[in-house]
Structure 1
Amino acid sequence: MRKFVIHAWNFVFNHEVSPLRHIPDFNVRHMVLQILGWMWAIAFSVAVGSYTVLAVSLIGHAVLFGAAATTVATYIAAARRPRAFLVLARQWD
């Protein structure tokens, strides 16, 4: 169980283990990981803040599912087409 938890943690938070490792530019890889981190922080804030009312709780869960789908889509895109993220690097130059 301990190995599973360590592997799961590294798969999400370690840029050398996650599918983000396929993005060749280290700075773009770091930026994408930061954006995903902010997205999850906002998603959990909305979810936790909305647990007091059922209707708002449903919205919070929808935000969490959307965040999970966005993370999966980002990881798949990073694994299949890592150079697509280099457009982000050109915008900051």
Structure 2
Amino acid sequence: MRQLIFFGWNFIFNADVSPLRHIPDTKRRHLVLQALGLMWAVSFGIALGSYTVLAISVLGHAVLIAAAAVTVATYTAAASKPHLFMSGLGRSRDGEHD
């Protein structure tokens, strides 16, 4: 495992091992490596940000869908079984007890 990590690191970052070694100008090779590094940093940043925002977005949408489901269930129950809303909920009027 240690050898695999060492080889992977050298393949990416060592100018004598990576495919960038074929670029003859050292400054240009360094520029290309920096551009690739920036690209990967931005890619990981965007991915991590979207995963974080996605979790919040999923939670928010789940709450909205649950609220819609409760509303539909309440309206359906009120239309088909209105007596469910009349039994012992809240205060009674003028001291009346059910």
Structure 1 unaligned regions, length at least 5: 57-93
What is the aligned partner in structure 2 of residue 3 from structure 1?
A: 3
TM-score (structure 1 length as normaliser): 0.56
Structure 2 counterpart SS, 1:50 = helix
Identity of aligned residues (%): 58
Large movers: runs of 4+ above 2 Å: none
Higher relative contact order (CA 8 A, sep 6+): 1
1:20-35 pair list within 5 angstroms: 20-35=20-35
The residue number in structure 2 matching 1:16 is 16
Q: Which has the higher helix share?
A: 1
Structure 2's unaligned 5+ residue stretches are: 58-98
RMSD of the alignment, in Å? 1.6
| Aligned-partner Cα distance in 2 for 1:15–1:37 | 14
Alignment: residue pair count: 55
Q: For residue 21 of structure 1, what is the amino acid of its counterpart?
A: R
Question: Matched residues in 2 for 1:7 and 1:31: separation?
Answer: 22
TM-score w.r.t. structure 2 length?
0.53
